[in-house]
Chains A and B, each alone.
Chain A
Amino acid sequence: MPNVAGFGALGFERAIVRLEAALREHLPAPHRRLTTEEVKAAYPSRSFERGWRIDMLCSDDVTRQIDLLVTRAFPAGYPRTALVNPPDMLTWPHVERDGILCLLPVLAEVDAEDPGQVGLNLIGRSARLIEELLVGDIVERDFREEFLTYWFYASDVRTKVTSLIDPVCPSRKIRVWRGEDMVVAGENEAQLNHWLVNRFGKRSGKKTFHTESAAFLWLPQPPLPSDYPQTGADLIALATSAGEVDAAILADVAGAHHKDVLVLIGAEGRGGAGLVAATTTAARKISSRDGHVEKPLTKGFTAAGMPPAIAAARVYSAARVLKSEVSRADAAWVHGRGKDPRTARLLAKQITVIGGGAIGSSVTARLVRAGVGTSHIVDPQDFDWPNIGRHELGASSVGKNKAFELAARFSQDFPHLAITGHNVGAQRLIDGYEDLLANSDLIIATTGSWDAEGALNRWHVVNGRKVPILYGWTEKHAAAGHAVLIEVKGGCLRCGMSPTGTPTFKASLWADGQNTVEEPSCGNHFTPYGAVELGHVVDVIAETALGALLDPPLASRHHIWLTGTARLEAEGAMWTDNVTLLGEDLAVGQKILSRDWPARECPACALAEDALIAAE
């Protein structure tokens, strides 16, 4: 036997002995050890190795049997229990086809060091579940509340429908795209097309993604298994149970297209809305032996001359419907599974990230994952091999523009979002893309270039600092990271910088005074650090960005991440007085400090005065 889960063959046998001892000591009546053959015969699709059968006299005076079953991995994982001779599938919730009982949620944990107690506990839970099922109160409730699970058990096809729709009332017409191995449903043509172009790229030439009408049926309560539609007629009956208007929507879709209809069905289960899908089959072509192809749906009519009512009646006829699961890919679900109150606000936000280097790419990645709806990435440089070690892009992007590549990568991975790349420098951006900047909810500058960020700051102050700008950079070896958020009040960027862009507040002091390393080429400098050290810096900048979007401060703020003091000293550096004067205990380091970014009479702020005078 392989050494499974660290316990090995002997651990398995020991656990079995302990489990049997526990059963003998604590069960009030004898139990029976099942033979391997019995276990395999009763549960052929499972990998159970041993089993025990316990007779149980239930409250209805019927004796039922519970099997306790373990795999070779035991005592890792946990034993399963089964009801012997269960009722037909979908008669009782939490009982699978072969009688296996669903007792524990996915996140449950068991004490593998006490297998006997685990076995007893699960027998107790099984007995309780069976009694609750006999009483019956939970049967309808759980079938409704957990309807996604039971629809899955009843499903006819394994391919899931990917849904972009907002699963809320009312029933309505939607759109569907059917690919070779993927079916995607969206609210409308525009949303669906946006998603498909992002996900798969534009189609060549004049080709577009062909979409069709589909229906979304919102039910006042989730269906019971007895309501699950087997035929088209069942489907229209289910819609009618919700309302005449709902049924009319299904009929409309069928009547308009003379094709089979995808119906997404939504309802409120436990923990939120759930979606399932059913597809009619009445329009499937039938090929006869002589090569003749019959189209049963349009039989007797030309395509144009077929009355919609007849088309609908034929679609929702005795022909079978195919039930399938739905994978939600709508923005609210992707970002927080519909439970994060920040999601809707973030989806409405627009950011512009200037500088798609190591920091900019990773900050953008975090904000995109957080669900920022619209992102613009600005960078004139091409991606190169030395960038790979600490950048979101990889080898496939070498030689291509960073902004375009990041936008393409994120668009493909987050097709519901709007992400655009701009192959321009900061100066060109300020001169030609004022609307982009002005319409952003937040601008993030991670160029490390004073030429670019000084210019951006001048644009900012002259335009009244209406849009907050977050500047992010790292010090040598990523020993400290800075996130400076410039708001309407407080200092502008220049207020805390020298004329050549040296911050007045530096955290680390390096013995050699050198902050950079040269490449063997004219003027090419860089600072060596790795993706791991940089991660902390990226995080503090991304967190500041999120705060600026959701809960902006009243005035400019400065957040500094400090590496571990031991690491700093090992590199031959020390903390500056700036940091030590903040009064923090820096014995360990690895902390985030926050301070105001105060205003002072700086040349850039004077430009704002000039602009006001000019405006008068």
Chain B
Amino acid sequence: MDDGVYFMKADLVGDRGAEMTSLQARQMVRDAVDDGGFKRKPEVRPNCVRIFYEKGYHVDMPVYRKVEENGTTVYELASSSGWKRSDARDVTKWFDDARSNSNDGAQLRRLVREIKKFARSRTSWSGSILSGFGITALVVDCQRLNANREDRALYDTMKAVRDRLNYNLVVAHPVTPNDFITSGSDDAKARMLRDKLSQALTWLAPLFETDCTRSQALDCWDKVYNTTYFSERGEDEARAAASYAAPIATSAALIGLESYAGAAVSSSGGGRHA
């Protein structure tokens, strides 16, 4: 959860004394944070100002105004559809409450991170898949905890989210009444998350086969996360447990590898010439 920038409504006045639009407010913040030192300039996004850091990550800075209404204070977000009732702190409170209400708040937080990580595992999905906030809302709704098995909890939660999206692609905003994270009843980003989760569940199918080895299981998770992290870990474990026949290999033993792996190298080539 990122911090926001808060202004008194009365202070947000444009050049001619008119009330600042939500876009002007975001542009003003964008100009303020841009000290000229960024390689990629900060950008105005639909619901925030995004600041890019060289290491590849970014920080979203939502812009709010404080409005006094009948003696109470409400907060409005500078969004692409104008000033909208919203407050990041409400969202933070919502997630804190969700963790408190969960049987295992720590695992819930991890599940959110794990599924977000999956959604960001391919650069080609970037911008086409449901936002992190949408994923958080879905995971809170569909959490399937398992105190002993993180992998099981993750698989079950992925499946529950996928099933929920199969049933309905609409994701409501958890805090702002009558507001939605998705747009319409067939939101393309939610649909993509659903389809990619379905694909991942297919990749994970070998986990449930009786003869599935640890190495195969690690490969499954590598495929889901588009990484070598799991198999590298497995390789490190295997290396630590390896018991070698000899402290040093003889040349004769190594020469035998040539014929053992003979099919992998063709000295005479493929017979295609150009």
- Chain A residue at minimal CB-CB distance from B249: A29
Which of the residues B231, B247, B258, B270 comes within 8 Å of A17, measured between beta carbons? Answer: B231
Which of the residues B222, B232, B247, B259 comes within 8 Å of A124, measured between beta carbons? Answer: B259
Q: A111 CA to B250 CA in the complex, in Å?
A: 26
CB distance from A3 to the nearest CB of B (A): 11
Q: Residue among B227, B245, B249, B269 with the most chain A CB within 10 A?
A: B249
Chain A residues with CB below 8 A from B222, complex form: 14
Q: Which of A52-60, A176-184, A189-197, A475-483 participates in binding chain B?
A: A52-60
Contact of B265 with A24 in the complex, beta carbons under 8 Å: no
- B267 CB–A CB distance under 8 Å: yes
Chain B residues with CB below 8 A from A121, complex form: 257-258, 260-262, 264-265
Q: A107 CA to B231 CA in the complex, in Å?
A: 33
Which of the residues B227, B228, B261, B266 comes within 8 Å of A108, measured between beta carbons? Answer: B266
CB distance from B104 to the nearest CB of A (A): 32
Contact of B269 with A108 in the complex, beta carbons under 8 Å: yes
- A26 CB–B CB distance under 8 Å: yes
CB distance from B251 to the nearest CB of A (A): 5
- B32 CB–A CB distance under 8 Å: no
How many residues of A sit at the interface, in one of the four size bands?
35 or more
Contact of A26 with B257 in the complex, beta carbons under 8 Å: yes
- B10 CB–A CB distance under 8 Å: no
Q: A355 CA to B157 CA in the complex, in Å?
A: 79
Q: A63 CA to B254 CA in the complex, in Å?
A: 13
Which of the residues B244, B251, B256 comes within 8 Å of A131, measured between beta carbons? Answer: B251
Q: A67 CA to B252 CA in the complex, in Å?
A: 17
Given the known A-B contacts A24-B235, A28-B246, A120-B257, are A130 and B264 also in contact in the complex, defined by CB atoms under 8 Å? no
Contact of A111 with B263 in the complex, beta carbons under 8 Å: yes
Chain B residues with CB below 8 A from A108, complex form: 265-269
Contact of A110 with B249 in the complex, beta carbons under 8 Å: no
- A165 CB–B CB distance under 8 Å: no
Which of the residues A27, A28, A105 comes within 8 Å of B267, measured between beta carbons? Answer: A105
CB distance from B117 to the nearest CB of A (A): 15
Chain B residues with CB below 8 A from A27, complex form: 244, 249, 254, 257
CB distance from B218 to the nearest CB of A (A): 10
Contact of B255 with A131 in the complex, beta carbons under 8 Å: yes
- B147 CB–A CB distance under 8 Å: no
- A125 CB–B CB distance under 8 Å: yes
Which of the residues B244, B254, B270 comes within 8 Å of A109, measured between beta carbons? Answer: B270
Q: A278 CA to B263 CA in the complex, in Å?
A: 43
Q: A154 CA to B247 CA in the complex, in Å?
A: 39
Contact of A125 with B244 in the complex, beta carbons under 8 Å: no
Given the known A-B contacts A121-B257, A127-B255, are A110 and B265 also in contact in the complex, defined by CB atoms under 8 Å? yes
Q: Count B interface residues, CB 8 Å.
A: 37
Chain B residues with CB below 8 A from A57, complex form: 248-251
- B226 CB–A CB distance under 8 Å: yes
- Chain A residue at minimal CB-CB distance from B266: A109
- A327 CB–B CB distance under 8 Å: no
Contact of B265 with A78 in the complex, beta carbons under 8 Å: yes
Chain B residues with CB below 8 A from A104, complex form: 265, 267
- Chain B residue at minimal CB-CB distance from A20: B235
- A596 CB–B CB distance under 8 Å: no
Digit string of A9-29 for contact with B (CB within 8 Å is 1, else 0)? 010011011001100101111
Q: A109 CA to B270 CA in the complex, in Å?
A: 7
Q: A459 CA to B169 CA in the complex, in Å?
A: 88
- B253 CB–A CB distance under 8 Å: yes
Contact of B264 with A111 in the complex, beta carbons under 8 Å: yes
- B238 CB–A CB distance under 8 Å: yes
The number of A-B residue pairs with CB atoms under 8 Å apart is: 128
Chain A residues with CB below 8 A from B269, complex form: 105, 107-109
Contact of A24 with B248 in the complex, beta carbons under 8 Å: no
Which of the residues B232, B244, B255 comes within 8 Å of A128, measured between beta carbons? Answer: B255
- A123 CB–B CB distance under 8 Å: yes
Given the known A-B contacts A10-B226, A17-B235, are A24 and B255 also in contact in the complex, defined by CB atoms under 8 Å? no
Chain B residues with CB below 8 A from A30, complex form: 242, 244, 247
Chain B residues with CB below 8 A from A56, complex form: 248-251, 254
Q: Residue among B244, B251, B255 with the most chain A CB within 10 A?
A: B251
- A117 CB–B CB distance under 8 Å: yes
Contact of B251 with A127 in the complex, beta carbons under 8 Å: yes
- B239 CB–A CB distance under 8 Å: yes
Digit string of A100-134 for contact with B (CB within 8 Å is 1, else 0)? 00001101111100101110111111111011000
Q: A126 CA to B231 CA in the complex, in Å?
A: 28
Given the known A-B contacts A24-B239, A54-B254, A56-B249, are A110 and B264 also in contact in the complex, defined by CB atoms under 8 Å? yes
Contact of A21 with B265 in the complex, beta carbons under 8 Å: no
Q: A30 CA to B249 CA in the complex, in Å?
A: 8
Which of the residues B226, B232, B253, B266 comes within 8 Å of A28, measured between beta carbons? Answer: B253
Chain B residues with CB below 8 A from A59, complex form: 251-252
Chain B residues with CB below 8 A from A20, complex form: 235, 239
Contact of B245 with A111 in the complex, beta carbons under 8 Å: no
CB distance from A529 to the nearest CB of B (A): 26
- Chain A residue at minimal CB-CB distance from B267: A108
Contact of B247 with A29 in the complex, beta carbons under 8 Å: yes
Chain B residues with CB below 8 A from A130, complex form: 251
Chain A residues with CB below 8 A from B248, complex form: 29, 55-57, 63
- Chain B residue at minimal CB-CB distance from A119: B261
- Chain B residue at minimal CB-CB distance from A106: B269
Contact of B265 with A118 in the complex, beta carbons under 8 Å: yes
Given the known A-B contacts A105-B267, A108-B268, A110-B266, are A120 and B260 also in contact in the complex, defined by CB atoms under 8 Å? yes
Given the known A-B contacts A24-B242, A59-B251, A109-B269, are A123 and B257 also in contact in the complex, defined by CB atoms under 8 Å? yes
Contact of B263 with A117 in the complex, beta carbons under 8 Å: yes
Chain B residues with CB below 8 A from A109, complex form: 265-266, 269-270
CB distance from A131 to the nearest CB of B (A): 5
Q: Which 4 A-B pairs have the closest CB atoms?
A: A124-B258, A117-B264, A124-B257, A107-B269
Can you sample 7 A-B contacts with CB below 8 Å? A27-B257, A30-B244, A54-B249, A54-B254, A109-B269, A124-B259, A127-B251
Q: 17 other contacts beyond A10-B227, A108-B269, A124-B261, with CB at 8 A cut-off?
A: A14-B231, A17-B231, A21-B235, A54-B249, A55-B249, A59-B251, A63-B248, A107-B268, A108-B266, A108-B268, A118-B265, A120-B264, A123-B257, A124-B256, A126-B254, A127-B258, A128-B255
